[in-house]
Structure 1
Amino acid sequence: MNKDLEEVALQFRKLPGIGVKSARRLAYFMLERPQEEVDLFLDTIRHARSRVCYCSTCCNLATSDPCDICSDDRRDHSIICVVEQPQDVTAMEQSQEYHGLYHVLHGVLSPLDGIGPEQLKIKELLKRLEKNDVKEVIIATDPDTEGEATAYYLSRLIKPSGIKVTRIGRGIPAGGAVGYTDGITLAGAVENRKEI
């Protein structure tokens, strides 16, 4: 394989979820594109990267500080939804069901990977809770081992302040079948059941 092609593939491998084959496929694709398309692609990334910053309030990626969500007076400022990553904010917003504020941790506790509370935006969250009239914190970390550990850790830090701490519900996804659902998801579905 061409050395330049391998160098491009190596850069694509740095992206999350991209393995060796996908990286090579992307490298071939980009190097076969007309120069104008490649230039536009690179310029778009450069332009976006030069404008993006972190919101000093919620730690989300933004193009202004504070971000559009934090500065929106129509949102409920008494509720903060804590998420792992910026893309989780996008997912929550697409649901169109949540109208409060957010706080992005930029990861979860993972001692095996060397990620402790100091590597996350937990200190920033606690400062927000001291300053503002927050009544509820919704913890929306993933329902995996690290996400659950992070949720438990945060709830232990926040509850003594008298702020209500809740966890997003878990269960069988829409269109899912009980017979094909894993045990952990089923346990969450039973635990979070509602009266009908």
Structure 2
Amino acid sequence: MRIIVYFLLSMLIGIIDAYTQETETKTKQTTTSSISISVDDDTGFVEKSRTYFSISDSDDTYRVRSDFHKSKTTKIRSYLAEELGTEYMTASGSRQKWKREYGGDTGYEVRLDEGTLKIYLDKELLSSGMVNKFKTITRNIKNYASGKSEEKRLEEQQKREAEQVQREAQQAQREAERLQRKAEQKIREAEHLQREAERLKREAQKKKDS
């Protein structure tokens, strides 16, 4: 009887350890970012806007929740339609939804409204390539909504302009050095002609004296 009890306890401990290890292997990563930006509307009025992004990435699911300035919605809508197509898209007023099911279960669902975006993925139903595609989509939308893409573009433009100014300055310096060398050469030639003239003058004077 004691052996049977020991055996059952060993099995129970093994099951608990296995469940604990399985639970520990499941990871969940949540990132949240918020940024305040200034947005110019069509009337030239500068409005303060706050962009919010929350990304929850676990072993089984991937979720995104975002709030951004409404003026960004049109381009985000066009971008999503380009990336996801219209086959699985439905629209109602200002709302668009992309939803694809696999065997009756939701593989992914994207909801877009004026200034809001929600993304849900079931990783167990989607390929790793599809999951990575949605992560890229999320990253691009986040950069655009937060204005980072525009900031980067302006930064690169300023860098190119600074490099152009530097190249023009270096070119002007080389031209100035070339003109200086040419002027020095002319001076040497003039000095040589002057010495030659003085020599001829001396020779002429000698012939006259003799």
Same fold (TM over 0.5): no
Higher strand share: 2
Higher helix share: 2
**Could you tell me the TM-score, scaled by structure 2's length?**
0.21
Q: TM-score normalized by structure 1?
A: 0.22
* Structure showing greater Rg: 2
